Each structure stands twice: as structure tokens, then as C-alpha cells.
Amino acid sequence: MNHAAPKSVTQLLVAWSDGDQAALDQLVPLVNEELRRLARGFMRRERPGHTLQTTALVNEAYLRLVDQKHMHWQNRAHFLAIAAQLMRRILVDYARRRQYQKRGGGAVQVTLGHAEEVANERSPDLVALDEALTSLAEMDPRRGRVVELRFFGGLSIEETAEVLKVSPTTVERDWTIAKAWLHKTVNRK
């Protein structure tokens, strides 16, 4: 997204919220690359050999975003925060479905040539992270939102502060504390 786009994105989001379908048609090309960036960030954190592709994640998120008929978009950062939240839910649902499959459960499929690489590589367990983040959000909703916006949404400190309507210093403090708490919680399991 270019630097001039956030203002026009915000205007189009507001128009779309007001029921202007033409605004949605103009909005899609402007936010497509940003949604793809978010999806690539999510997919980099996934286990090797993940069967869900970046494009499929973007498409599923797009379908869910379009379905948000009564959403009153504040601005570009708010839109990206919601998109990140939806992508997180999609991946967590996908991970849960894979764990409960009859054959193979949560087993990672690897070729013999890649077995050593996978054995030495520790990918984060998305379901465990989601459970820890849910616990954090129950204890401290703002810190939970900070993690969601920063880690999953890829928002900057300033963008996160804008969405949460707090100072960047507060976001930095919450981010530091939340990361430490999550690291301790996820590694304990």
C-alpha cells in the first residue's frame, strides 16, 4: 500500500460501511497487497509443509471481511486489525481440524531427506499459542489485543496505539510484558 493510500482507504472503508458497494470494489485492489503481507507473515510462522496457501488464507479472510455488513470501520489500522484477527481464527480452526483427523492426527509429514531438518526445527504450536493468548486476553484484554495487533496483525507500535486509543509508550510496555508472559506460558506446556 503506498503512503497516500491510508487516507483514501479510510474514506473507502467509511463509504463501504455506509452501504456503498462501489467503495468495496475500489477498496479491494488497495488492500489486497496489505492482506497478502499479513497472510505471508502468518504463513512464515506455520510448520513446514503446511497445506494452506497464502492465497487461500487471503481469500478466506476476504470472504469473512466482506461478510462484516454492520462493521463501522474507523480507519485502515482498524481494518487490518480485524483482518489479522480473522486470519488468526482461520489458522487456529485449521490447526484444530488437523489435530482431530482420524489418521495421522497432528503428525508432520516429511520425506526422509527432510526428517533431520524437521527434527531440529521447532515451529510454534499455533493452538497452544492461541490458548495462551485467550488466557492473556481474559486476564488483561488490552494486552491480549496488543499481541493480536502486533504479532498477528503486523501493526506498528503507533498503529496499535491508534487502534486501541492509548499512547505508544503504553503499547510498548504492554507488548513487552505480554511477550514475556506468553513465552513463559507456552513453554511451560
Measured N-to-C along each axis, helices 168-188 and 126-139 cross at an angle, to the nearest 10 degrees, of 130
Instruction: Please tell me the total count of domains within the chain.
Output: 2
Predicted TM-score (pTM) of this structure = 0.62
Residue 116 lies in a domain: no
**Which residue range(s) make up the domain with 158?**
124-189
Tell me, yes or no, whether 65 and 41 share the same domain: yes
Tell me, yes or no, whether 45 and 96 share the same domain: yes
Tell me what percent of the residues of the chain surpass a pLDDT of 90: 14
pLDDT tens digits, residue range 31-85?
888 888 888 877 777 766 667 788 888 888 888 887 776 778 888 888 888 888 8
